[in-house]
Structures are given as C-alpha cells and as structure tokens.
Amino acid sequence: MLDLTGRAAVVTGSSRGIGRAIALKLATLGANLVVNYHSSEDAAREVVEQIKADAGEAIPFQADVKQANEAKELIETALQAFGRLDILVNNVGITRDTLLMRMKEKDWDVVLETNLKGTFNCTKVAQRPMIRQRYGRIINITSVSGIAGQVGQANYSASKAGIIGFTKAVARELGGRNITVNAVAPGYVPTDQTADLPQELIDHILELTPLKRPGTAEEIANAVAFLASEEASYVTGQVLAVDGGMMAMML
C-alpha cells in the first residue's frame, strides 16, 4: 500500500475538481497538505475540514501562482507549517477556448501565465528546500491536449505542451539530488473546467477513447499518488497519460 506518512505536500488549485481529489488522496495516505486556492475560499476550507475529519493535517492558502511573490509565499507557508516540503503538485490550470482567429491576446497570455508560468514559479521556489533535504517529488498536471493538440485550444495546448518540456528539462536538472519530476496527462474528466464543452465534442472524445467512458478525478489522483510515493522512486522525466487509452488511438 502506498504510504506518505509524514510527507508535506502542496497541491495548487486544490479547492475543486482534479486538484481537490489529489489533495484528498494524498491526505488519506498520510501526507500533510497545503490546500491552495485562488478565489474559492469556501471550497478550499471544505477540503481542509474533510481532511481534518479523517484525522489528517491541512491548511488552506490563497495564492495566484502566476504571480511569483504569491507562489513564493505558498511554498514558504508549507515550510513554516510542516518544517519541510516533500511533494509539489502543479495542478492549477485554466482555459479560454476559442479558435485561433478569434483568440484575443489577453486570452493567450492569461492561460500561458497561469498554466505554464505558474508551474515555473512554484517549482523554482520548491526545488530549494527539496535540494537541501535531498528528496522531492514534483508532479505536473498536463493534458492530452498538450500531447496531441485540440481545436479551439491553441493557448491551452501550448501551455500544456510547455509543461511537458519543462518536466523533462527539470527532471534532468534535479535527478542528481534525488528529486523526481513527472507529469500526468488526463484525458476527458468531467469537472467545472470541462462543463462548457459541446456535447458533440464530448461524444467525439469518448469515441476515440478505447474504454468508452470519461475518467474520474479520483483516477487522476491515484496516478499522482503513485508518482509521489516511494514506489515511483526510479521514475522521472515521464508523462503518464491517464486517458482511457485515447493517446493509443491518436498517435
């Protein structure tokens, strides 16, 4: 059984959706959590209360990770609360979907800054205590859109493809310090972020998925938990597609 007892973790964007499931999963395995949110304070506090009700330790912290100073404060909060940082899950992500010919510059900028720069900001700060303790697990949430691209998601696909390149580069930089860096690429998972997808697109995605069903946030969380554990100690620089087999059909 996976065991994260005594580990300290930060999960960005963990008040809802996949991030929430990841935070709850890591907590059930014994990790102490910083539950990060941008605007959903009530939802974040509900996650914290659920963790505490199950005898876990967690604190909420508001931070907009695309802002370097706020990302720094987020990581420092974990260090102050738990005395160490073992696991960073860069989960926060947003979409501003539209065809490229209609895409506004601000829609490109905010998606790249939140998804890719936010991952950079948190990782840059988190690596320092991990290097000092010669231990760390960094898991970045990318997407199958970052592997194969998606119509109407030039900004999102670019940000998630960037996370894949970032993951591989940082894995090479930090491997000698016993820090693993991996990515998880979810397929279609019903969340608030995917709620506005047209039904015809959902049907097309499921047709391309050998398992013929959506994934769940809990299934993504299970993959993250593995990569955060000792069982994955020799896994780094990898992109794990948790997509029901979709990529096997598309590539």
Q: What is the pTM of this model?
A: 0.95
pLDDT at 38: 95
Q: Over the stretch 172-195, which tens digit does the pLDDT of each residue have?
A: 999 999 999 999 999 999 888 777
Active site residues: 156
pLDDT at 251: 60
Q: Which of 84, 173, 153, 51 is closest to 112 using CA atoms?
A: 153
pLDDT at 157: 97
pLDDT at 250: 67
**In which residue ranges of the chain is pLDDT below 50?**
none
Q: Over the stretch 49-73, which tens digit does the pLDDT of each residue have?
A: 999 999 999 999 999 999 999 999 9
| Distance in angstroms (rounded) separating the CA atoms of residues 233 and 68 | 29
CA angle (113 as vertex; 74, 225 as ends), nearest 5: 55
Q: Are 66 and 117 in contact (CB under 8 A)?
A: yes
Burial call 115-137: b when 16+ CB within 10 Å, e when fewer = bbbbbbbbbebbbebbeeeebbb
Q: Is the dihedral of CA 240, 117, 178, 22 positive or negative?
A: negative
Structure tokens, 235: 């896994």
pLDDT at 47: 98
pLDDT at 208: 86
H helices of 149-213, where? Answer: 154-174, 199-207
Look up tokens 């005898």; give the residue.
Answer: 55
